[in-house]
Structure 1
Amino acid sequence: MMGDREERRPILAINEPIQNGYRSTETGDEKVELPDVDEGKTSTPAAVFIVVNAAMGAGLLNFPNAFGQAGGIGPGVAMELMFLILIVTSLFALAYCSQVHSSNTYQSAIEATCGKGFGIATEICIIVYMFGTCIAMVIIIGDQFDKVMEAIVGIDFCHHWYMNRKFTMSAFAILIILPLCIPKDIGFLRHASVIGVIATLVVMFTVVIKYFTEDHHPVHNPRGKDSWGMTFSAIPAIFFAYQCHVSSVPVYATLKRKTMSNWSIVIVSSMVLCATTYTVTGVFGYLTFGDAAKSDILQSYDAKDWFVIAARISVVVAMITSYPILQFCGRAALITLLSKTGMTTLTPPPKREKIRRYVITMTWFFSSLAFSLLVPNIGVAIAVVGGIAGCFILVFPGFALTRIILDDTSPKTRKSYFLMGVGMLLFVGGMFLFGEITCRAIIDDVRDTDPELSSKCYES
């Protein structure tokens, strides 16, 4: 329950600033660096860039395929815009929760509003989401290596053990990515998100350029009886692509002007930039390949095309720098969760902290690598991770907003009931979509006897 001071707060005090700014969070001896900014000194343009960094990434590769699942460009864009409204609404709800409780992280805002149980559930979801995203990143790296090998050696490259996907993925991940995951401080990667944005733009321009410079023969398959089911299959890609909510709370806490009016500028600007990039890629990718667009759009192009090779290189570099950051966040969340259950302490002796860090890092890394070797393409990973992203976007913010309105002791107004209705819509809708997306992902994975492969070499 909220304190007396918070219970007397008016509902949605639009321009009331927060006095408590951003503070770093300590997890054991590891200092979890959130956005690299000073307390309360983030300008509006800088905040826009941080949110765009958090949202734009690997989800872009799956957008043309998602448009195909949705039924084409018209239904795909309409679905994207519909969920974009819900995504923006939940970002405002999270900002308000952060404002009421002076929270500086997503999980602390949810726990302060909804209780310890929801806080633990949020930590678990963050861990699973980060782990699933790490799996998707290793799969993407494997996809790019397969096409590079195919361009250099030929279609039979995978019959050489040292060029086979399982070997190249494992060797590259162990030699390059694992050493970046072990350090206690990953400050040297604090600006790596810029690389992700650059890689995203390179992919977008590549898709557009290839559409205008080459002949294309898009494939359009007739919609079957399960057309609505296929439409639902496009939702995880949207959630995965636009998930920036975990990062949004610390960003809001660092704003110079912590008001809803200023936050609206940040959110609208960020989402317009992201939506433009995603939609352009989805539209031109679908126009080029139609329903034949693969879950990783770069896999649909000629392996020897230099434009596409440049895009592949940029994507691999982005994955190399992004994986350690996600692993670090997941490791910090796991330590926090274990400390809440009494299984460890936040500040162990240095030697014990080092052992704990190595054990968690090695377990995380090799587990994600093993799963990435078993999962055939990023579409499968995104289908599962996208459902969890839906919880960050809809379920937790919706319940938190509803709880704040119910706990407020001031007389209820039309605005109060409206906000409560919005919160319930987000929560109930999010729970339904999470169940539907997760069940469909499991069923599709079980039924899929002919999964999409990264190269024709693996078909023989």
Structure 2
Amino acid sequence: GSWRGPPSHGIPVPSPVTSLGLLAGVVLLAALSPQGSLVFLVSGLAVLGYAAALSAQPTYQGVVRAVCGAAVGKLCEVCFLLNLFMISVALLRVVGDQLEKLCDSLYPNGTLSGAPQLPPWYVDQRFTLSALCVLVIFPLSVPREIGFQKYSSILGTLAACYLTLVIILKYYLQAESLRLTEPSQAVPAWGPSAVPLALQCHEACVAIYSSMRNQSFSHWVTVSVLSMLICLLIYSLTGVYGYLTFGKAVASDVLMSYPGNDPVVIVARLLFGVSIVTIYPIVVLLGRSVVKDLWVSPKRGAVAVSEAQERRGRVALTVTWMAATLAIALFVPDIGKVIELIGGISAFFIFIFPGLCLVCMTGTRSLGPRKR
């Protein structure tokens, strides 16, 4: 929900009239462009829910394989696995950025007898993020089913609302002290690298649909529309006011643009970090399901593994997934590059695969309400 560009200093603060006109223009552009994408986003969710009910498959890749055939299903599995892996990297990168800012606020760099005073080793991002993964994220990611995530998602929504409120209030109350540059008249467009990451839910929508008690098509469409509207409002306001506050100097992670010693921003960082920590296990769960499908599909009819073997395999896969994503996240200097890659791959899951499912389902019987 933000844009990145080179900083520029020494530019005067715009007048209230100019700011009001620019605000109107930015809000109009940011509102109209996502609205066009919103139609396709909701349509994709509706098609995937219909296909999940028709095929009785609990995973995204399973739905595509059952509806579009084995070849398309295999392509979906490969793209799905790559996309989930990069999303995991992006999530850890964002958490690492927030940890770094929090540690800077607790142990600011100073000087002692004219020599630079380095912060303690235990506030280094490589240690803090690794410790968080081992002590918190890993135990949340190991279970076979993560049913409690339906409760933690409420916390994530509240954290996102708080973050948006903080960014809006900071713009109106402290914009002059925070602004590094005047927002440009040319507002960056909502491209594939911005919208898909902000409204990233298609990968998990089939799993969510399968866990719903009321699986009627009308109920699913209602849930999809309301969810997308809430996400659109939160992310649009965050992006617009973050850009208006910092202009082209806004960081890819908008919270990184704010000072680390602000108590209100510190609370926002904590809540935002907690919400992402609860999202990561969901991505791991989806990734394990893809790996399982890739491993089992050529061996249909093989005997089922024992409970102990399944547990060992699940733990080993979770450790491997987390170690690989953590290693990449620690050495990626800018999350913007990861976001661009995710945005390009996400187009497959938002537009292409739902479109293929719709074409393949054309002429099939209509689906009645399903409840369980």
Indicate the TM-score class for this superposition, using the shorter chain for normalisation.
0.7 to 0.9
Question: Which residue of 161, 182, 193 corresponds with 2:121?
Answer: 161
Q: Distance in 1 between matches of 2:131 and 2:118?
A: 15
| Corresponding residue of 1:219 | 181
Give the conservation status (yes or no) of the 8 Å contact 2:193–2:339: yes
Letter in 1 for 2:310: E
Question: Which residue of 320, 330, 337 corresponds with 1:380?
Answer: 337
| Corresponding residue of 1:113 | 67
| Corresponding residue of 1:242 | 199
| Corresponding residue of 2:156 | 196
Aligned pairs (5 A) from 1:322-361: 322-342=279-299, 347-361=304-318
| 388 and 307 in structure 1: CA distance in 2 versus 1, 3 angstrom threshold | same
| Corresponding residue of 1:65 | 3
| Corresponding residue of 1:88 | 42
Give the conservation status (yes or no) of the 8 Å contact 2:84–2:287: yes
Q: Distance in 2 between matches of 1:223 and 1:164?
A: 39
Which structure carries more relative contact order (alpha carbon 8 Å, separation 6+)? Answer: 2
| 112 and 183 in structure 1: CA distance in 2 versus 1, 3 angstrom threshold | closer
How many residues align? The count is 338
- 1:221-270 Cα offsets, whole Å, 9 max, x none, are 7799xx9xx747x422211121222333455564647244x444333322
- 1:104-159 Cα offsets, whole Å, 9 max, x none, are 44323212221012222222333222222221121112111211122122246766
How many Å apart are 1:348 and its aligned residue?
A: 0.8
How many Å apart are 1:393 and its aligned residue?
A: 0.3
| Corresponding residue of 1:258 | 216
| Corresponding residue of 1:59 | none
Letter in 2 for 1:375: V
Letter in 2 for 1:392: F
Letter in 1 for 2:91: M
Letter in 2 for 1:296: D
Give the conservation status (yes or no) of the 8 Å contact 2:95–2:276: yes
Give the conservation status (yes or no) of the 8 Å contact 2:193–2:342: yes
| 357 and 142 in structure 1: CA distance in 2 versus 1, 3 angstrom threshold | same
Question: Which residue of 76, 101, 109 corresponds with 1:147?
Answer: 101
SS at match of 2:156: helix
| Corresponding residue of 2:369 | none
Aligned pairs (5 A) from 1:257-406: 258-260=216-218, 262-342=219-299, 347-405=304-362
How many Å apart are 1:368 and its aligned residue?
A: 0.7
Give the conservation status (yes or no) of the 8 Å contact 1:97–1:400: yes
Q: Distance in 2 between matches of 1:346 and 1:238?
A: 43
| 222 and 201 in structure 1: CA distance in 2 versus 1, 3 angstrom threshold | closer
Deviates more, 1:312-321 or 1:95-104: 95-104
Q: Distance in 2 between matches of 1:334 and 1:247?
A: 15
Q: Distance in 2 between matches of 1:198 and 1:409?
A: 41
- 1:68-122 Cα offsets, whole Å, 9 max, x none, are 9xx9555443332222222122223323433544444432321222101222222
Give the conservation status (yes or no) of the 8 Å contact 2:204–2:286: no
Give the conservation status (yes or no) of the 8 Å contact 1:220–1:290: yes
Q: Distance in 2 between matches of 1:72 and 1:114?
A: 41
Q: Distance in 1 between matches of 2:287 and 2:81?
A: 5
What is the TM-score of this pair, normalised by structure 1? 0.66
- 1:301-358 Cα offsets, whole Å, 9 max, x none, are 1111111000001112122222222212211221122101339968312332232122
Structure 1, unaligned stretches of length 5 or more? 1-62, 411-460
Q: Distance in 1 between matches of 2:322 and 2:249?
A: 33
Q: Distance in 1 between matches of 2:129 and 2:245?
A: 29
| 108 and 182 in structure 1: CA distance in 2 versus 1, 3 angstrom threshold | closer
Aligned-residue sequence identity (percent) comes to 31
Give the conservation status (yes or no) of the 8 Å contact 1:73–1:286: no
Give the conservation status (yes or no) of the 8 Å contact 2:4–2:251: no
Aligned pairs (5 A) from 1:40-79: 63-65=1-3, 73-79=27-33
- 1:343-386 Cα offsets, whole Å, 9 max, x none, are 99683123322321222111111101100011113222221122
Give the root-mean-square deviation of aligned CA atoms: 3.1
How many Å apart are 1:287 and its aligned residue?
A: 1.4
| 311 and 340 in structure 1: CA distance in 2 versus 1, 3 angstrom threshold | same
Letter in 1 for 2:172: F
Q: Distance in 2 between matches of 1:133 and 1:97?
A: 24
Give the conservation status (yes or no) of the 8 Å contact 1:67–1:75: no
- 1:418-441 Cα offsets, whole Å, 9 max, x none, are xxxxxxxxxxxxxxxxxxxxxxxx
SS at match of 1:302: coil
